[in-house]
Amino acid sequence: MIPYLFAFVLASIYGLGFYLLVGQGWLRLAFYWLVAVAGFLLGQAIASAVGLALFNIGETNVVEGTLVSGLGLLAVHAWQRERVR
């Protein structure tokens, strides 16, 4: 339970930080937050399934979760920019 709580908080910080860098409007804040949390948990699950552990804090795979969360945020941002054009 505790590793997922820490992962949730860390991913929430990533979503808020990304919104502060590139976001516009409150709806995008919620969207970036959701993508960051989903990406971090996906990275956590993949790292646990593969057995990869680059930098852990407790049972939380920080590097893997951060990488997948960041890639998800960048992909969503690129998709939204392309959709607006």
> According to the model, what pLDDT value does residue 69 have?
94
What CA–CA distance (Å, rounded) separates 3 from 80? Answer: 31
For the residues 62-70, what does the mean pLDDT come to? Answer: 91
Give the residue from 56, 47, 49 showing the smallest Cα distance to 10. 56
**pLDDT tens digits, residue range 12-63?**
999 999 999 987 888 888 999 999 999 998 998 888 888 877 888 788 888 8
Give the residue from 16, 21, 53 showing the smallest Cα distance to 35. 16
For the residues 62-72, what does the mean pLDDT come to? Answer: 91
Give the residue from 2, 11, 27 showing the smallest Cα distance to 70. 11
For 3, half-sphere exposure in the C-beta direction (CA atoms, 13 angstrom radius) is: 13
Q: Tokens 């392309």, residue? A: 82
